A = this chain, B = another copy of it.
Amino acid sequence: MQLSPMIESFVFHFGEMGSRWGFNRTVGQMYALLVVSDKPLNANQIADALNISRGNVSMGLKELQSWQLIQQSHIPGDRKDYFTPRGTIWEMANRVFEERRKREVDPTLSMLRDILLEAPANDSEAYAQDRMREIHDLLETTTQWASELQRLNPDKLNTLMKLGAGVTRMMEIKEQLLGGSGKQTDKATGQAPDNTSDRKSE
């Protein structure tokens, strides 16, 4: 199969980017290809389209399955395995975040916790522990936020964001609520989605 130039540039670009997301170039290309393909592909089609070896494709598919990013399917009367991406784009992004958290952040947090249990032997170690505690707290806070964001229904989240309700805005409202009587102020109601007003000037 010969890829159209449009699809080819997408696939190649994501190949390069893919390495930043935890897998290598070919795996990134394979996934990109599956995402933009309107029908399931089998391993040979992938190898052919990307000009890589059949063995490489097999390993890449295994990797993508371990990330739960693709799904296997079958076509009646055909013994080959076909593959499609699994879930919506949002779900896929979530899955990648989740997986990276498990593989990278969690072990780091656990290492930091272990070290922070030790008693510092001298001033240098005390100083180092202070820095580590900061990092630990930052990671913990950040992952907690991220996991809350992930729990939200994507449509809802998306709608809210498109509304121009930035975090800043939400926090202002929240603070108003907490600070005052819990009453709705007119200032906050019925906002038109004007998101341009509070962006920074550059």
**Chain A residues within 8 Å of B, Cβ to Cβ:** 4, 6-7, 9-10, 13-14, 17, 20, 22, 35-40, 73-76, 82, 84-90, 93, 100, 104, 107-108, 111-112, 115, 118, 120-121, 123-125, 127-129, 131-132, 134-135, 138, 141-142, 144-145, 148-149, 151-152, 155-156, 158-163, 165-168, 170-171, 173-174, 176-178, 180-182, 184-194, 196, 199-202
Contact = CB atoms under 8 A, between A and B. Distances in A.
Nearest to A191: B182
Contacts of A36: 127-128, 131-132
Best-surrounded residue of A141, A151, A188 (most CB of chain B within 10 A): A188
Nearest to A140: B161
Quick one: which of A14, A166, A187 has the most chain B CB within 10 A? A166
How many copies the complex holds: the figure is: 2
Nearest to A86: B196
A200 B39 contact: yes
Q: 7 tightest A-B contacts by CB?
A: A181-B190, A162-B188, A36-B128, A38-B127, A88-B194, A148-B166, A182-B190
Contacts of A170: 170-171, 174
A189 B199 contact: no
Contact of A159 (B144, B151, B166, B187): B187
Contacts of A180: 184, 189-190
A168 B193 contact: no
Contacts of A174: 160, 165, 170, 173-174
A105 to B, nearest CB: 9
29 contacts: A6-B120, A6-B125, A7-B124, A14-B108, A17-B104, A20-B22, A36-B128, A36-B132, A37-B127, A37-B128, A38-B199, A39-B199, A75-B200, A87-B194, A89-B131, A141-B161, A145-B161, A152-B168, A152-B171, A158-B189, A162-B189, A170-B170, A177-B184, A177-B188, A177-B189, A182-B189, A182-B190, A182-B191, A186-B193
